[in-house]
Chains A and B, each alone.
Chain A
Amino acid sequence: MRLSWLRAVVIVVVSLVFALPIVWMFAAAFKTNVQVTDPSVGLFFTPTLENFGNVLADGEILAALRNSLLVGVVSTVLSAVIAVPAAWAVGRFGMHRTGSLVLVARIVPAVSLLVPWYYLFAQAGLVGSYAVLILSHMFVSVPLILWIMIGFFEGLPVELEEAGRTDGLTAFGAFLRIALPLAAPGTATASVLAFVASWNNFMFALIFSDEETQTAPVTLFNFISYASTDWGGLMAAASLMTVPVVIAAIFGQRYLVAGLTAGATKG
């Protein structure tokens, strides 16, 4: 397909606008602190691993990344376990009014949940524990997975499940043996997006984590206060947080786009 000259130029400019800031961050992570604060250094320099060495030797960032991974995986799996069947029920039995109740979770400002949750979790002696972080992240992931999967189940032909019923499966059997395997790509997409939401979540961990359970965004935030002295380290830490996302975007772009835009094209 031939491009008009103007269109090609616009496309290149747009690509650079979105790519360069991220590239600049990754590049800065490989610069010495003298190079980072000298904008004339640009993108061509002898890279150093010093920043990553410092950051990883510190141990705090590494521990935080491990916490983020743990909370992200557990909250995503638990969310999928309760949200996928719910999405099937909403999609198959047309319970949209009930289903949309869950979307209230998207509208309410998270700040208004912090104090009541803190009160509840403090009563249960859970503040600072992984359990609180997992529960609070699930509050984001369950509606997210539900939202994506309702559309996905609606897109599956109901005839397949009907045929399964004819062959003697119960309704639950039809879900388990027919709908669920067919929905595997959707579930994978929704789970990746839920994991990313947890991985990126800042506010809940800011309030509910302690030194032991601190997740990466909070560590990154604490790092900013002395950023002026260690831009390179800060960029290395930010890069470590961003790498998984970039990998997911490169390999799963098509699925992630489908997940991100799920539900937007129906009235």
Chain B
Amino acid sequence: MTSTTEVVRAARPAVRGERTVARDNRRLKWVMLAPALAFVGLMIVFPLLYTLNLAFTDAFGAVNAAHSYVGPRNFLDALGDTRRFWPAVGRTALFTAGAVVLETVFGLALAMLMRRAFRGLRLLRTLLVIPLLTTPLAIGILWLLILDPTNGIANHLLTSMGLPRQEFLGSVSQSLPTLMLIDVWQWTPMMTLLLLAGLATLPGEPEEAARVDGAGAWQRFRYVVLPMLGPTLGIAVVLRSVDALKTFDLLYATKGPGGGSDFEVETLNIYAYGLTFDYQEYGLASAVLVLFTVAIVCVVILLRRRPEGRSA
């Protein structure tokens, strides 16, 4: 591409000097970028600084009420809180790890299944796109109906097969796993589509060579396709993890504030939201959010390191 560009450039009649063009380009690219950059910057820099500042205060009740600096007390309070904070950390980790692992496994299996064309491929792809684009509120509502402990079709099917009734979202112990599986249902398609896009870019020769050398289907998948798919898999896992960590709509829609009567699905995001809007504990909430944001960034860095290290 560069060489072609150079040829075109050389062939171009010198209407204006190259240097003027370069300066124009430099100015233009910033003009083109500025509105988007300024908008996102304004919308994010102030909130980050504001939250960081609030985290060191005892702000409570109203955001603009007088408050004083209390040093790292909010952070110490949060980190010493084994009743709400640490269980929320645990649930966030469990929900995210469980959902992302299952979505990766199912997504990969489904992508391999859909890799070669078959009649109905287009239909299946359409069916996969629909859950992705449906509002999590509607998803929550439709699963509330399906999983209703007394009148839901799920229990009807279970009992008709001679299996015991389940409480699903009506029980403290089953709520988080149930919501995790709903997340798996909604987001496995995303994993599949990302991996299908990755598979489509892979060269065919290595696999063909492995086939000629007598490698079976599993061996070709494990030792040829999977390593080549590594970068895409890495990106897909990062994207899904970031979103899963921050899951809010589905949890809030189905279990309400505080993640249910026993805080059974209270993740960090739900906890921080509750601290902010139900308890008006702005100082503590901000500290929790700072910790949460740092944790997300750490997860991203950690996940990004592996595939790069392997390919190097």
- Residues of A at the B interface (CB closer than 8 Å) are 1, 3, 7-8, 10-11, 14-15, 17-19, 21-22, 24-25, 28, 36-40, 82-83, 85-86, 88-90, 92-93, 95, 98-99, 101-102, 104-120, 135, 138-139, 142-143, 146, 158-159, 162-163, 165-166, 168, 170-172, 175, 196, 199-200, 202-203, 207, 216-217, 220-221, 224, 227, 231, 234-235, 238-239, 241-242, 245-246, 248-250, 253, 256-257, 260-261, 263-267
A234 and B36 contacting across the interface, CB-CB below 8 Å = no
Chain B contacts of A220 at CB under 8 A?
135, 137-138, 141
A242 & B24 in contact (Cβ 8 Å cutoff): no
Closest to B239 in A: A264
Structural contact, B118 and A90, CB atoms closer than 8 A? no
With A111-B272, A162-B9, A227-B144 as contacts: A85 and B51 at CB distance below 8 Å: no
Task: Give the shortest distance, in Å, between A197 (CB) and chain B (any CB).
Answer: 9
How far apart sit A241 and B136, CA to CA, in the bound complex (Å)? 11
Q: Is the CB of B142 within 8 A of A39?
A: no
Is B8's beta carbon under 8 Å from chain A?
yes
**Least CB distance, A131 to chain B, in whole angstroms:** 13
Q: Is the CB of B142 within 8 A of A235?
A: yes
Q: Is the CB of A107 within 8 A of B36?
A: no
A11 proximity list for chain B (CB < 8 A): 113, 118, 120, 124
Instruction: Determine whether the beta carbon of A242 is less than 8 Å from that of B134.
Output: yes
Min distance, Cβ B32 to any Cβ of chain A, angstroms: 4
Q: Are B36 and A83 in contact (CB under 8 A)?
A: yes
Closest Cβ of chain B to A10, distance in Å, is 6
Asked if B209 lies at the interface with its beta carbon under 8 angstroms from chain A, I say: no
A82 to B30, CA, bound (A): 12
Asked whether B29 lies within 8 Å of A24 as measured between CB atoms, the reply is: no
Please give me the residue from chain A that is nearest to B131 by CB atom.
Answer: A18
Which chain A residues border B113 with CB–CB below 8 Å?
A: 7, 10-11, 14
Complex CA–CA separation, A110 to B246 (angstroms): 8
Choose one: A102, A158, A267; the contact of B1 (CB below 8 Å): A158
Chain B binding surface, main DSSP class: helix
Band of interface residues on B: 35 or more
Whether A105 and B40, one on each chain, are in contact in the complex, defined by CB atoms closer than 8 angstroms, is yes
Q: Does B293 contact A (CB under 8 A)?
A: yes
Cβ-neighbour of A162 out of B8, B54, B132, B143 (below 8 A): B8
Report the separation of the CA atoms of residues A106 and B46 in the bound assembly, to the nearest whole angstrom.
Answer: 16
Contact indicator A200/B134 (Cβ below 8 Å):
yes
Is residue B130 within 8 Å, beta carbon to beta carbon, of the partner chain? yes
Q: Report whether B33 and A89 are in contact in the complex, using a CB–CB cutoff of 8 Å.
A: yes
Enumerate chain A residues within 8 angstroms of B134, measured Cβ to Cβ. Answer: 22, 200, 242, 245
Interface membership of B193, Cβ < 8 A: yes
Other than A37-B151, A109-B293, A227-B144, give 8 A-B pairs with Cβ distance below 8 A: A11-B113, A15-B127, A21-B142, A120-B46, A139-B43, A162-B9, A264-B236, A265-B232
Q: How far is the CA of A207 from the CA of B278 in the complex (A)?
A: 12
Which A residues lie within 8 Å of B155 (CB)? 39
In the complex, are the beta carbons of B253 and A224 less than 8 A apart?
Answer: yes
- Residues from chain B with Cβ under 8 Å of A112 in the complex: 47-48, 51, 272, 286, 289-290, 292-293
Distance in Å: Cβ of A173 to nearest Cβ of chain B: 10
Interface residue from A25, A89, A108, A203 paired with B32 (Cβ < 8 Å): A89
Q: Does A264 lie within 8 Å of B235, measured CB to CB? A: yes
- Decide yes or no: A159 and B5 within 8 Å by CB, A38-B151, A107-B296, A261-B194 being known contacts: yes
Could you tell me if A85 and B124 are in contact, using CB atoms closer than 8 angstroms? no
- Contact present for B286 and A115 (CB under 8 Å): yes
Min CB gap B30→A, angstroms: 8
Task: Tell me which residues across on chain A come within 8 A of B48, comparing CB atoms.
Answer: 108, 112
Contact between B129 and A256 (Cβ–Cβ < 8 Å)? yes
Between-chain CB contacts (< 8 Å), 26 pairs: A7-B113, A8-B118, A14-B113, A24-B142, A28-B145, A36-B145, A36-B151, A82-B36, A86-B37, A88-B32, A101-B37, A101-B40, A102-B37, A107-B297, A109-B292, A109-B296, A112-B293, A139-B40, A166-B11, A166-B12, A199-B135, A242-B134, A260-B132, A261-B194, A261-B197, A264-B194
- Give the complex CA separation of A21 and B215 in angstroms: 40
Closest Cβ of chain B: how far from A72's Cβ, in Å?
12
Residues on B with beta carbons closer than 8 Å to the beta carbon of A216? 135
Q: Are A241 and B135 in contact (CB under 8 A)?
A: yes
Q: For the complex, what is the distance from the CA of A115 to the CA of B53, rounded to whole Å?
A: 12
Across-interface contacts of A242 in B (CB, < 8 A): 134-135, 138
In the bound assembly, the distance between CA atoms of A216 and B249 in angstroms comes to 13
Q: Does A117 contact B33, Cβ atoms closer than 8 Å?
A: no
Distance between Cα atoms of A3 and B117 in the complex (Å)? 10
B70 within 8 Å of A by Cβ? no
Instruction: Please indicate the chain A residues that have their CB under 8 angstroms from the CB of B44 in the complex.
Output: 104-105, 108, 113, 139
- A21 contacts which chain B residues (CB < 8 A)? 142-143, 146, 185
* Chain B positions 20-72 with a Cβ under 8 Å from a chain A Cβ: 21, 24-25, 28-30, 32-33, 35-37, 39-41, 43-44, 46-48, 50-51, 54, 63-64
Of A1, A93, A115, A163, the most chain B CB neighbours within 10 A belong to: A115
Name the B residues within 8 Å of A90 (CB-CB).
Answer: 33
Across the two chains, which residue of chain A brings its CB closest to B30?
A: A89
A18–B127 CB distance below 8 A:
yes
